[in-house]
Structure 1
């Protein structure tokens, strides 16, 4: 595994940086900075990124992408983070690739081009009030019935933590289609338009200030063509999509740009007759962060190598994907906290004259949310133990006590 970027990759980075800086004007950055969860400003920005041919870096050419590997995709993520570009991670990096695997020809033709041009956005509908850590316990039902328009599914139930639901065009929905089967065997995935009669949502506000959503399904009807893959075989799609999501959350490319900008500020800012960077405690903090960023890059190099080798799949088993996700999300929070201490009040300012324009404070809040995305990190540690290390499942009461 080569840990250095090739000259061709560095040239691509320079091209991406120039294009991203042209797209992400100060006006666009200001417009999306307070609305990174979604909304008209974010959608307009995503479409501009798509028009600049930036979204499909790691997608196969047969689906309209540029055909590069996960390594180039990570380079894009790094550069996008430098300019605070909003990337539709769930739609682009998880739903799209899963559709490539399991979608029908009709679904691929309908959704993949629209994902790449930024005109379609998905939200994930998995968690329920009684099925969060144990996703296989989903109780939202989809009953197949005949109608004048052909067979359809009638959906009833409730989901929670459906992030982005208020801005999404479709919900990637896990439903129970066989109530008599073992819980992992009776689940299917449906693509549900958010414009469907009977679909509603309510905001669920979180302490980090980032909203997620409850979603409700009251006799929501979709045609059988909304089924992705085979009926009652949805668990495989869920694990595939979650592997993509966990790999993506570990691979956001956020740390090095934040570290470099903080270091530049500390070198240029005067304090007590010297510079901020001359303070011993600042030097210690930045040295720790540099080591943490180096470790982060090594983990991401492993993830990128595995994904590149895996081709159309993630190339990661569940244990690897979970380990990368736990490490990446928790380290992002640790690094952001240390850098905020260095910047002091400057780290939370959002004005155009602020050192990082609020990007560091935003990354710190988002890091908390990301520890839950793709499955809470406590559950990921169970997966690492069982799927990665071959250890027995811990008793439920023991896990609860820890």
Structure 2
């Protein structure tokens, strides 16, 4: 089932496809299609290409440098980029912080930080999770104490963040910090912007199961932060945090469809007992189940997108989309790994190019392992199910 759009939306879809066909460098397309990790230089390259067209900050209004797209146009753009194997735009500055600044930032903060996100002057990372505060984010313990010295009034930050994606490349980090111990947990949290080059900031790598250095621990020891780097009101950062998470959670429809296409290609190519794997009844049944689930997810996602386009809010449905999308992507990566079979070993990646294995073999295990995180980040699926049960079912 293809997506059903109006004539105007189909014209926009054709424009996006033409842009991707002519402007997406073949080398980037190949690396994404093969599931390989992009360097910072490659990510910068793609961001610059999008910005030259005015399409980089897809969630921003025109007055702040974005394209001013509707919810449907954003959906179409992200969907077509995923199908074309375009690099994913890094969300931290563009999709997370940008909308928070636009809604809660001061005029001076918007004027300073938003252009620097667009032109690549600042690369951001997200300082939310801590060793004892992941899904229970309100339990965070990183402290920011307002103090005064000869240079004036400022915050001193001490604490630790973990699972900080791409902190090794970041110039800045937006952080949730505790500024009061007297109020209830959510009321004592503030939203700070911290320069990663500040004295007292230390980044330590975490090598994940797929062998990649994608995430980090970040330590703060007496890190000085100017008062003007507070976004919103002191002790009211939880409001910013919740708003940001509505932009972080999505179903990843395009990524699911692209993964399904790769699965079908592999299953048609790989031979088991003298016939293509997609003709094996048990494997074909699993493929059919995940494809049906994906079609249902498409329909639900488009329904939510239509609600947003009409001025509504996705509400608790964003939690449902996040749960279903993450489970489908995990199942697809699991099936690709199963289809490749014993060749799906990351350490054999170089040798696999020589023995006629499908190109997906080199990264099948790594992608499977990396995708285990999908049901955890952005609010774990267990927490999302609790939100659904409480909000929709009244439990």
TM-score range, shorter chain: 0.7 to 0.9
Structure 2: runs of 5+ lacking an equivalent: none
Moved more, 113-122 or 59-68: 113-122
Contact 1:258–1:360 under 8 Å retained in 2: no
Report the counterpart of residue 316 of structure 1 in structure 2: 314
- Cα deviation, residue 125, structure 1: 0.8
For residues 367 and 75 of structure 2, the distance between their equivalents in structure 1, rounded to whole angstroms, comes to 17
Partner of 2:181: 179
Q: Deviations over 1:54-88 (max 9, x none)?
A: 32334211221111122221222222223241311
TM-score, with structure 2 as normaliser? 0.85
Cα deviations across residues 27-73 of structure 1 (Å, max 9, x unaligned)? 3345675334x633322332233224332334211221111122221
Q: How far does residue 190 in structure 1 lie from its aligned partner after superposition?
A: 0.1
**RMSD (CA atoms):** 3.0
Q: How far 1:264 sits from its partner (Å)?
A: 5.0
- What is the 5 A alignment of 1:350-365? 354=358, 363-365=367-369
Q: Distance in 2 between matches of 1:101 and 1:351?
A: 49
Q: Which moved more, 1:185-194 or 1:156-165?
A: 156-165
Match of 1:64 in 2: 65
Q: How is 1:146-165 mapped onto 2 (pairs within 5 angstroms)? A: 146-165=148-167
Q: TM-score of the superposition, structure 1-length normalised? A: 0.84
Question: Equivalent residue of 1:190, what SS?
Answer: strand
Name 1:217's counterpart in structure 2: 220
> Once the 2 structures are TM-superposed, how far is the Cα of residue 346 of structure 1 from its aligned partner?
8.0
Mean CA deviation greater in 271-280 or 50-59: 271-280
Shift of 1:303: 3.3
The answer for the alignment partner of 1:257 in structure 2 is: 258
2:22 is matched with 22
Bigger Cα displacement from structure 2, 184-193 vs 51-60 = 51-60
What are the superposed Cα offsets for residues 320-372 of structure 1, whole Å, 9 maximum, x if unpaired? Answer: 22222111111211123234434557878796995558676665344211212
For 1:275 and 1:258, locate their aligned partners in 2 and report how far apart those are by CA, in whole Å: 19
Q: Which residue of 1 aligns with 2:383?
A: 379
Compute the displacement of 1:199 (Å). 0.7
Matches of 1:206 and 1:142, distance apart in 2: 30
Aligned CA distance change for structure 1 residues 142 and 300 (closer, same or farther; 3 Å) = same
Contact 1:91 1:121 in 2 (8 A): yes
Matches of residues 286-325 of structure 1 in structure 2 within 5 Å?
Answer: 286-310=287-311, 315-317=313-315, 319-325=316-322
SS of 1:166's equivalent in the other structure is helix
Q: Which residue matches 2:237?
A: 234
What residue in structure 1 maps to residue 44 of structure 2? 43
CA distance in 2, matches of 1:12, 1:162: 35
**Corresponding residue pairs, total:** 383
Gaps of at least 5 residues in structure 1 are 392-402
Q: Give the Cα–Cα distance (whole angstroms) in 2 for the partners of residues 359 and 8 of structure 1.
A: 38
Distance 1:147 1:252 in 2: 51
Once the two structures are TM-superposed, the CA of residue 241 in structure 1 deviates from its matched residue by 1.0
- SS of the residue 1:151 aligns to: strand
Structure 1 residue 367 and structure 2 residue 371: aligned? yes
C-alpha distance in structure 2 between counterparts of 1:157 and 1:273, whole Å: 59
Cα deviation 1:239-293 (Å, max 9, x = unaligned): 11112212x3x23521112223443565678887776545544543432232122
Q: CA deviation at 1:175?
A: 0.7
